[in-house]
Structure 1
């Protein structure tokens, strides 16, 4: 399995108990809808299949998983901080009208006062909010994505109109 044929769902954060159980932190929004019978873990640049024996999903974007070939904590510890993937064929279908802030990655951000800021190169999810990252004037800037900041989204053109808080760019550009 190649990484191009898969989508990232999260990473292994810690072990639990002595029998090889691991905790996965899901960065995929609809993790409850995932089929986790077989996952692929990235080890040394290759995706290795792991067959699950038991899965217990939590409400805090985590889940506890026993893998068939991970019988002890010593084996499980080797999987810590490793990325977890599923094949693209197992990606849940979304409704046409569903939109997530993470969908803005690749969009061009245009501010009402400062004009074009640049392409949104990353969208980070934090417990309180989503943050867009844009390379503006050779400086990486970040701003929140919420209803107060976003004025409009043109999905066809890949443009998001924003109104940044006064002084936000000054913090990054030291003007």
Structure 2
């Protein structure tokens, strides 16, 4: 199975108890809509299927899982820090009007004062806010995606117009 035919949802963060239960930390935003019957763990560069016997999805981006044939902590320990994938055909569909700040990845940022800054290479989600990363003149520039600073989002041209505080871009130069 090729990784290209799958999408990344998170990683096994730790074990729990002695009976082989593991904790899955979701890095996939729509984790509550995922079908968790079979998960593919990256082991030695290959994807290995693990059949889920029981899953308890929690609101804090985690799930506690029991896999078939993993019934002891020793077997579960070998799964810790493994990346977890699902087949592309299980990618949850979203309504076309469902636009999220994470969808801004790849958008070109145009500042009201400085002009074109570059393309958003990453959108990081932190507890209090989302932060965009843009490579501007060879430097990584970070700024929060707040209503106060975002002027407009053009979905047709993939452009985000912002009005960043004076001097913010200079900090990164």
| TM-score clears 0.5 | yes
Q: What's the Cα RMSD here?
A: 1.1
Shift of 1:154: 1.1
Structure 1 runs (4+) deviating above 3 angstroms are: none
Structure 1: how far apart are the matches of 2:44 and 2:140? 30
Moved more, 131-140 or 23-32: 23-32
Q: Deviations over 1:124-152 (max 9, x none)?
A: 11111111111111111111112112111
Q: Distance in 2 between matches of 1:82 and 1:143?
A: 31
Number of residue pairs matched?
173
Partner of residue 138, structure 1: 138
Which residue in the other structure is 2:2 paired with?
A: 2
| Contiguous gaps of at least 5 residues in structure 1 | none
Deviation at 1:167, TM superposition (A): 2.1
Q: Per-residue deviation at 1:170?
A: 2.1
Specify the SS of the correspondent of 2:47: strand
Q: SS of the residue aligned with 1:103?
A: helix
**Aligned-pair CA distance for 1:44:** 2.0
Q: Distance in 1 between matches of 2:157 and 2:27?
A: 27
- Between 1:156-165 and 1:31-40, the stretch displaced more is 156-165
1:86-111: CA deviations, max 9, x gaps?
Answer: 11111111001001111111111111
Residue number in structure 2 paired with 1:81 = 81
Structure 2: gaps (5+ residues): none
User: In structure 2, what is the Cα distance between the partners aligned to 1:164 and 1:47?
Assistant: 43
TM-score using structure 1 length: 0.94
Counterpart CA distance in 2 for 1:93 and 1:63 is 21
Residue 53 (structure 1) aligns with: 53
Distance in 2 (alpha carbons) for counterparts of 1:132 and 1:44? 32
